[in-house]
Chain A
Amino acid sequence: MAVTGILLVLFLIAHMLGNLKIFTGETAFDHYAHWLRDIGTPLLPSTWFLWLQRTVLLAAVLGHIAAATVLAMRARAARPVRYAHRKAVRGSYAARTMRWGGVIILLFVIYHILDLTTGHLNPQGAPGNPYGNVVADFAPQRWYVTLFYTLAIVALGFHLRHGAFSAFRSLGQQSPRGERRARAAALVLAVALCVGYLVVPFAVLTGLVA
């Protein structure tokens, strides 16, 4: 859970930094997007690095889901008779919604790939013009797309808030002071990634990026 999660968080950070290049203009953003396909050349043939990265990410996602499924099934088996009167989990909202939050994020990722990677669900869907695709995607009349993205990113933020702390703990964070630091770091990471991802659709929505 922790190791695959950390791989995915590293990707999220790189992906967010790449997204922010949209503020440097159409030419620079499209150039960056094309460079992603050419990383590693001439050592590797074009797009090889991209596919390597996609393979690692897919393996991490599948490993993450597999570990979560094992935990969920063990939890179900560990309490065959339910309580008649059960209080909601008092820990944190984030901890309580890890499993359903994960499912929402998975559905979002599938939609997101069909939208901005393959272009099937994108109103423009031009493979060579990611800048134009993004602008067309979050146009003000398609406010519901921005709303869905916002909900998914907030779900991701909650997932990271508990997930990042839990990863530190699983990998042996053990002191009370370290626990406070790990919780604070997880909160900062979650908020930073939420803000970093949400500024792009909202910049398009408000006309800052056109």
Chain B
Amino acid sequence: MNLTLRIWRQRGPEDKGRMVTYQVDDVSPDMSFLEMLDVLNERLILSGEEPVAFDHDCREGICGMCGLMINGDAHGPQRGTTACQLHMRQFSDGDTIDIEPWRARAFPVIKDLVVDRGAFDKIIAAGGYITAPTGSAPEAHSTPVAKANADAAFTSAACIGCGACVAACPNGSGMLFTAAKLTQLSLLPQGQPERYTRVVGMVDAHDEAGFGGCTNAGECTVVCPKGIPLNTIGRLNRDYLAATAKGGGTPGS
């Protein structure tokens, strides 16, 4: 396959950035999208040019590092798939592919296609944990959990924090991420003590980080590589209403 790539190049946070066109020839349909970028980068290095910076780690679709806007789709055209698990057979010979970083005020571009997702860490730090002592795994039967709650919590816990929800949201909102990180705890007995201070703290941190507000448009769940359902946000809303009706304490206390 021969492809034309239009890639966002930006030298650093202060640089204005621009789309640059590259030609990549002899791409195998069995390559992953990132391997295709590796081929381009090796060629750029050989010709003495600066390679394209992009985030990646496990290349197995579970670490949440890779994240590219491919032809206007977060993680590309295949649903339920991260960019590293996307294969070039999803494209055709002669295609032009636009590759851009996630665009959000809360995710500033560090270089080329790499963005700083530290805003997600701030949301987690504001309450995305439990204060119960951990240690070795407890006996599974000692704390019963309803099957439906366990399943819903596990669905939320599948979130890898890649940021595709923010990238795709027409409002630039990080509500699906926040809701997933919240409900994986609020549905389980271990998450109950801080349930209502957690939701207020995490939503406040979300808003302070500069994310937009949720309007239930549902774009996030379409692009989510882990298929976090939209009703997760409803669970967050319900906890938030309960928490504000009660009058909260200090987040995380």
Contacts and interface: CB of A to CB of B under 8 A. Distances in A.
A179 interface: yes
Interface in B39-58: none
Nearest to A68: B215
Contacts of B231: 169, 173-176, 178-179
Contacts of A176: 229, 231
Given A85-B69, A171-B237, A172-B234, A74 B171 contact: yes
Taking residues whose C-beta sits less than 8 angstroms from the other chain, chain A's interface range is 35 or more
A84 B98 contact: yes
A91 B170 CA distance: 10
Nearest to A179: B231
Interface in A34-84: 70-71, 74-75, 77-84
B100 A75 contact: no
A8 interface: no
13 contacts: A71-B212, A71-B213, A75-B172, A78-B172, A78-B210, A79-B172, A87-B73, A91-B219, A95-B215, A162-B216, A166-B216, A172-B241, A174-B238
A84 B100 contact: yes
Interface stretch (B29-37, B84-92, B102-110, B139-147): B102-110
A112 interface: no
B142 to A, nearest CB: 28
Contacts of A75: 170-173, 212-213
Contacts of B171: 71, 74-75, 78
A96 to B, nearest CB: 7
A86 B222 CA distance: 15
B234 A91 contact: no
Contacts of A98: 215
Given A77-B105, A78-B171, A174-B234, A85 B212 contact: no
Contact of A79 (B19, B103, B234, B238): B103
Contacts of A70: 213
A197 interface: no
- Interface-central residue, A77, A78, A98, by most chain B CB under 10 Å: A78
Contacts of B23: none
